[in-house]
Structure 1
Amino acid sequence: MRRDREEREERPDADLRERLHAMEAKVRKLREIRNQHSDRARRSRDQRNAVQAQYKEHRETVDLLIAEVKAIRAEVNLHRERRNAIQDQLRQLIAQIKGRRGDKDAKRSATAEYHQLKAEMERLEETFETSSVGMKKEKEMMEKLKRMGNRVGELAPEVEEFELVKVDLKDLDGSIKVLKAEADAEHQLFIAAIQRADEVSTKIDEAFAHRDFLKAEGDRHHLEHLEHRKEADAVHAQIEEMMADVNKVRDELKLAREERESWVTDHNAAVRAEMQTGAQSEAVADALVSTLLKDGNLTFGGTMAEDGARKDHRGGDGRKKRNMRRIDMSSRRRR
């Protein structure tokens, strides 16, 4: 403790220096803590970016699966429509066999009307070719065939669009079997397409679940990044406050050091001025001349009058010793 007290007396700014060292040590500790938070923030950011890259890549996979299931569902709809159209064609053909051709009140489709007209035209043509009729009857048959032909021509585009299976009206039983087989085939394709759509839908559900997981992970890492960044910023704010105090203490130390240096410089200048000789300074030379004129003597090499007295005293002792030596030498010659 005595040593510390002596050091404080020798260095009046010791307390400031101790305070500065303590503050700088705290700032270094805070910087380490801030850097740790910054490192955690960077790691969280890198993890977030990696997860977001996976999410982006996985989203492309999900989009492909969605496009695939849409294509399969379009195929499902196509097979269902074809199956339904063939079944409708089959029902119309069966209705013709059951004798519904002449039912005027029955609602008939274009296909049924088309086939009915074609069958009627074939029957009239066969009658016209194989039997003899009068001019009047022949004219009526020709006009009827013309009207039927025009109507068949009107129905042909619509029938060609929706009639998927060509049937032989002369072999109705065989045509029914063909239509049933075609309808069953389309139904099987329809079922298979539904199964494939279900399989892809299962994959899509799994892909959606993984997508949601990746999104949640990305959000979690992002929140961690923000939290660590916030903590780092808070510590950095403390560092800035501490550095303001540190700079104040440094300024105080600098001012004290400058004051000491200024005092030492002034003191040394004063000492040098006092130690100057007449040859070095005109002011000193003038002072010496004034002293000589006033007192009649000057003293060189000393700072006080006793120095001159002591010098005179030492000079007397020297003369005495020299006289003693001379006496000894003369006595030796007489011998």
Structure 2
Amino acid sequence: METRLRRMREQRNDHNENARRAADSRDSVQEQSRELRERIKERLDEQKEVRARAKLHQAKRDEIQNQMRELITQRRGKRSDEGTKSVVIQLSETIGEIDRIENRIMTDGSLSLDKENAMLKKLKSLIAKRDELMPAAEEFQVIEIDLGDMEGSIQLLRAEADSEHKAMLDANKEADTIWEDVKPMLEERDFLRAEGDRLHNAFVSSREAADGILSPKIKVLLDQVNEIRDELKAQREERERLIREHNQSVRDALKTPDEDEELASSLADELLEKGSITLGGTRTVDDPKPHRGKKRKKSRKIGTRRGKRD
């Protein structure tokens, strides 16, 4: 039974070791994947900035082209609808009207008071409109438009539109190059993700196999083995106790009175109680006083015999 349990423990340890190795490999792969995702994010953020720059160049190009079309329309003598004019054209026309009114007020001395007041009122309205248009026009106003020289302004706008279009194409090309760099990184990311999932599944499988060894039946078997071990341990301790007690009793039996104070005391007590003690054979040593009297009497008889000679 113990051999079977030992074999099961070894199998469980093997499964746990496999699970540990799988977990270490999984963590290493996940760390590589995390670092790779950070690099991908940096490159994609860079690409996003480039795309935003391309869109800005595109918006400027479209606005310049819109201004150029309006100037061409005005050059041909057609009126543009106020609602379709670009912000820059509206601002240029407003500034030109303001300059014209201010110049007339300062130079025309024949203006009546009512006419001058009307022009001042219109000037105030135009200044308010200019202040309203300027923030919106600052983003797209690349060149100053001279409404007095439409042909020159159109040529300048066309050149600037071409420049913005080229900048847009260059930015999009740069963004495409970044994407080409990112694509293999995405493939590696997907591979690391799949490898991490595989190692995690291997980890889970090994842990389940290790836990499966500790099934209810195995736990019952372990309890039985532990119970037998406890019983054997108790028997061994009992045998050791009996052996110790036997050895101690033998040692106590072999002790002499000079080695055992308790034995010496018991013999002394026995001597005092009986008044005599037998040493060796059957001869008895009596009380000291009667014994001394008999010896003196016998010695006198022996002295009398010594006086006779044959």
Secondary structure of 1:165's counterpart equals: coil
1:150-209 Cα offsets, whole Å, 9 max, x none, are 454233331542433112333322211110000010011111111222222343443333
CA distance 1:263–1:166, change in 2 (3 Å): closer
Secondary structure of 2:41's counterpart equals: helix
Q: What is the RMSD of the two structures over their aligned residues, measured on CA atoms?
A: 4.6
Aligned to 1:92: 70
Q: Is the 8 A contact 2:26 2:200 kept in 1?
A: yes
The answer on 1:156 being equivalent to 2:130 is yes
Q: Which amino acid is the alignment partner of residue 37 of structure 1?
A: H
Secondary structure of 1:99's counterpart equals: coil
1:53-93 Cα offsets, whole Å, 9 max, x none, are 11211121122122112211211221111111111111121
- Residue of 7, 10, 29 corresponding to 2:7: 29
Q: Distance in 2 between matches of 1:194 and 1:109?
A: 26
Q: Distance in 1 between matches of 2:120 and 2:203?
A: 86
Q: Is the 8 A contact 1:34 1:232 kept in 2?
A: yes
Q: Is the 8 A contact 1:117 1:148 kept in 2?
A: no
Q: Is the 8 A contact 2:94 2:129 kept in 1?
A: no
Aligned to 2:50: 72
- Residue of 191, 195, 208 corresponding to 1:217: 195
CA distance 1:217–1:134, change in 2 (3 Å): closer
1:280-324 Cα offsets, whole Å, 9 max, x none, are 999xxxxxxxxxxxxxxx9xxxxxxxxxxxxxxxxxxxxxxxxxx
Aligned to 2:301: none
The answer on 1:44 being equivalent to 2:22 is yes
- Count matched residues: 261
Q: Which amino acid is the alignment partner of residue 52 of structure 1?
A: Q
Q: Distance in 2 between matches of 1:119 and 1:263?
A: 126
C-alpha deviation, 1:31, in angstroms:
2.1
Secondary structure of 2:145's counterpart equals: coil
- Residue of 62, 66, 73 corresponding to 2:40: 62
C-alpha deviation, 1:134, in angstroms:
9.5
Indicate the larger mover: 200-209 or 45-54. Answer: 200-209
CA distance 1:183–1:147, change in 2 (3 Å): farther
C-alpha deviation, 1:135, in angstroms:
3.9
Q: Is the 8 A contact 2:37 2:189 kept in 1?
A: yes
C-alpha deviation, 1:44, in angstroms:
0.2
Q: Is the 8 A contact 2:33 2:193 kept in 1?
A: yes
The answer on 1:235 being equivalent to 2:239 is no
Unpaired segments ≥5 residues, structure 1:
1-22, 273-278, 283-297, 299-335
Q: Which amino acid is the alignment partner of residue 130 of structure 2?
A: A
Q: Distance in 1 between matches of 2:233 and 2:85?
A: 111
Aligned to 2:297: none
Q: Distance in 1 between matches of 2:19 and 2:96?
A: 85
C-alpha deviation, 1:233, in angstroms:
2.0
Q: Distance in 2 between matches of 1:265 and 1:129?
A: 135
Aligned to 2:224: 245
Q: Distance in 2 between matches of 1:188 and 1:172?
A: 24
TM-score under structure 1 length normalisation:
0.60
Q: Distance in 2 between matches of 1:269 and 1:57?
A: 75
Identical aligned pairs, as a percentage? Answer: 36
CA distance 1:88–1:268, change in 2 (3 Å): closer
CA distance 1:66–1:266, change in 2 (3 Å): closer
- Residue of 166, 178, 185 corresponding to 2:144: 166
Q: Is the 8 A contact 2:92 2:145 kept in 1?
A: no
C-alpha deviation, 1:29, in angstroms:
1.9
